[in-house]
Amino acid sequence: MPARKRTGPLDGLRVIDMSGMISGAFATTMMGDFGADVVMIEHPKVGDPIREWPQKTASGESLAWKSLGRNKRCITLDLGSEEGREIALLLIEDADIVFENFRPGTMERWGLGPDDIHAVNERAIMVRLSGYGQTGPKSQKPGFGTVAEGISGWAHANGFPDSEPLLPPISLADLTAAQFALQSTLMAVYERDLGRNPSDKGQVIDVSLTEPLSRLFFGEVEAYDRMEYVRERTGNRHSSTAPRNIYETADGYMTMSASNQKIFERVARAIDKPELIDDPRFADNVTRVENVDALDAEIEAWTKQHTTDEAIDILEANDAIVGPVYDMGDIFEDEQYQARDAIIEVDDPDVGSLKTFAPTPKFSRTPGEVEFLGPGHGEHNEEVYQGELGMSTEEFARLDEAGVI
């Protein structure tokens, strides 16, 4: 393995990433940020679709790819060919983790299923991401995050009461599945290497796009089971706490959450309406949720008389929990983001100096690092195939010519 600047808490873990698009890729991006050696495999002819996403530079470089592909060494390999399969298994021999997100059955058809992988490396942890999971009557269907956001219950609950179900403006299902994939991978590494009785063996982790998003509705399976409760759309409000909303101000909008009784009382005094505290409609959180229209009307009548900055200053002086509504330009300018170095600058050979989000969260002793941004298609072929697998120059050229690599 070539020398790397990055160390971090995952230094020493080797990840073979066969996943494309977002769900697996975001999980392995985070692993790379914190020191793992991530080797990403793309098809020789067609690179990851994220490379073609909009917001490109004048030279045609996708900025989404620069972010999602950072800290990964990129190689090309035709996994569907026999020689490609053999090379993939060579790469897996000393890997800790293998990510894939093909339609269930594809890896088995290529001779790269769990049995094939564990035959060459019984310690390998195979992480499989798919729309519906590896089992069940829908498992063979193709699945994208948009569909998962629909059938997970998320779109039904999102939006305003008088509007249609609303999809998120980001790839929420993919990003949520990535977080579950990452945490489950580290659980499996712990069990294999450090648990009460370390097994020294890998296993298969099956992550659907649907289930992680549904899991965020904690308490609602139980509520449906006992009460047939179904969450309905509440806009910016919360179905279980009040007040919690985005409120219009004289020059924009602000956020506030005050479901805790003491915080609610501080808000009532701050907006010069202490009588709300003794109003039976707002006596506690339950009654406030039942009478949220009237409560929000009282609060917004006050916020509309003040600019966002004025309203926040007054409410914060009374120890309320409030904030502005930012766009990305505001994030760039915010002193808190700046003080925490949440956005860093990285030099890239393709696009020059580029700002990107810093690794999150922050570690006191083994911090993450962005060593480089998303590399070119097949940029690390020679480094991996010749430098690590010991492939001869002649063999490398032959496989390149044949379209295997």
Q: 383 exposed, middle or buried (CB, 10 Å; 0-12, 13-18, 19+)?
A: middle
The DSSP annotation for 216-272 comes to TSTTHHHHHHHH-------TTS-SS-SSEEEEE-SSSEEEEE--SHHHHHHHHHHTT
Residue 18 backbone dihedrals phi, psi, to 5 degrees: -100, 10
The pair of structure tokens assigned to 277 is 């505290």
Annotated active-site positions, please? 174
**Residues in a beta bridge with 98:** 16, 126
Can you tell me whether residue 376 is helix, strand or coil? coil
Cβ 350 vs Cβ 374: under 8 Å: no
Instruction: Name the one residue in this structure whose structure tokens are 């790269």.
Output: 112
Q: Which of 147, 212, 142 is nearest to 177 (CA)?
A: 212
Residue 254 CA to residue 327 CA, distance in Å, equals 13
Residue 223 backbone dihedrals phi, psi, to 5 degrees: -70, -35
Amino acid at 185: T
Instruction: Name the one residue in this structure whose structure tokens are 């409760």.
Output: 229
Which strands sit side by side in the sheet containing 322-324, from one edge to the other?
244-248, 253-257, 322-324
The pair of structure tokens assigned to 400 is 């390149």
Using H for helix, E for strand and C for coil, what is the string for 152-216? CCHHHHCCCCCCCCCCCCCCHHHHHHHHHHHHHHHHHHHHHHCCCCCCCCCCEEEEECHHHHHHC
Cβ 266 vs Cβ 319: under 8 Å: yes
Cβ 39 vs Cβ 73: under 8 Å: yes
